[in-house]
Amino acid sequence: MAVADVSEIHPGLERAETPRRWRTLRVLVRKKIAMLAIAYLLVFYACGVLAPLVATHDPKSQELTIEARFAGPSSEHWFGRDALGRDVFSRVVYASRTTILFTLAVLLTGGIFLGLGLGLLAGYKGGWIDTGVMRVGEVLAGLPTLILMLAITASFRTQINDMAFSLADNTWLSVEDARTFVKFVIIVGATVPFAWVGSARIVRSQALSIREQTYVAAAEAMGASTRRILIRHILPGVMPLFIVGLSAGMAAIAGAEVALSYLGLGIDEPAASFGNLLNDVQSPYTFRQHPHLLLAPAIPVILFFYAWNLLGDALVDILEPRANHY
């Protein structure tokens, strides 16, 4: 007697056995806007990571001649030159590297280490741990973030030189590189306290639901440690929403660095940042006479923000389809 194939009896079973991650990837590929956003982000990150190879000139090299200052786009200088005769394209490329390093540093410390870690712990343990973490988060969320970030960075301005000289004396960094590194650490430290709250809330809400599942209770009954339960049983369930939250918050994280540098409290000259590139051309006269100096840094960073928001919306549709019904 022939035995019917399982897929013939239940045609949808074979498809259901396909790993979820591959189904998710196929759905994402079908979303053209999301793929355009991913393509742009890949180009942006590639330019930042490979900045020394992509840049056509030294971003700090100055040429203070009448012909070089404010020169328009040409075959040699694609985005033209700024007021100091520096190549704008190269400075935009290095500015993308600054944005990448900043978002990565804040993501690892504030998003993953604090946001994911505290959210998992608060959601699973509950009690006073949950109360303490969430109350601190509510206080930070209710504060004027940008004003406090400005106050934190401004309070360290007088100590930058001392810290930079001390760092240069004890490392291989030059004084200029040490100053840039100190400023970078300061703005990262000013952003991290406010970057973990949203991620922690998302993770906590999912962890509260997952900890009531039968398999978690079974793991507890078998004597599994808290660390094993969090990593093996709860973490996989919270990752989809956590990824959505991170993608939606990446633009805000990068925007913090751009805003601080634009206001003169972030990365300063001669290091390249989108904030100080925009600050250099904020004069209406400069924009009217040399619009390329504003458009060259403004368009890439605006597209960067827009691409992350589009990707976040696409991930919400894919990983949390129930959100579309509310």
Domain parsing of the chain, residue ranges: 36-57+78-320
Cα 116 from Cα 108, distance rounded (Å): 10
pLDDT in the model for residue 10: 40
As a whole number of angstroms, the distance between CA 240 and CA 274 comes to: 31
Distance of CA 146 to CAs 133, 180, 261, 300, Å?
A: 22, 21, 12, 23
CATH 3.80.10.10 fits 36-57+78-320, yes or no: no
pLDDT the model gives residue 12: 45
Dihedral of the alpha carbons of 271, 76, 80, 99, in degrees to the nearest 10? -30
DSSP, residue by residue, 183-251? HHHHHHHHHHHHHSHHHHHHHHHHHHHHTTSHHHHHHHHTT--HHHIIIIIIHHHHHHHHHHHHHHHHH
Predicted pLDDT of residue 302? 92
Residue 227's Cα: distance from chain center in Å?
27
pLDDT of residue 256: 87
Pair 61, 52: CB distance under 8 Å? no
Query: Considering just the CA atoms, what is the radius of gyration of the chain in Å?
Result: 24
Pure H helices in the chain:
6-9, 11-16, 20-30, 32-49, 51-54, 88-106, 117-125, 127-141, 145-155, 160-170, 175-195, 197-210, 214-221, 226-228, 235-262, 274-280, 284-289, 292-319
Residue 174's CB is within 10 A of a number of other CB atoms, namely: 11
Can you give the pLDDT at residue 323? Answer: 46
**DSSP H/E element including 1:** none
Taking the whole predicted model, whether its pTM rises above 0.85 is answered as: no
91 contacts 277 by C-beta, under 8 angstroms:
yes
320: nearest Cα among 107, 30, 38, 24: 24
d(CA 56, CA 82): 15
- Burial letters for 88-120: b for 16+ Cβ neighbours within 10 Å, e otherwise? bbbbbbbbbbbbbbbbebbbebbbeebbbbbbb
CB of 310 within 8 A of CB of 37?
yes
Residue with structure tokens 């590139």? Answer: 277
C-alpha span between 54 and 260 (Å, rounded): 26
Cis peptide before 284 (omega within 30 of 0): no
- The low-confidence residues of the chain, meaning pLDDT below 70, are 1-25, 319-326
Give me the pLDDT at residue 322, please.
Answer: 52
> Which residue's structure tokens are 């019904």?
325
Angle CA 239–241–242, to nearest 5? 60
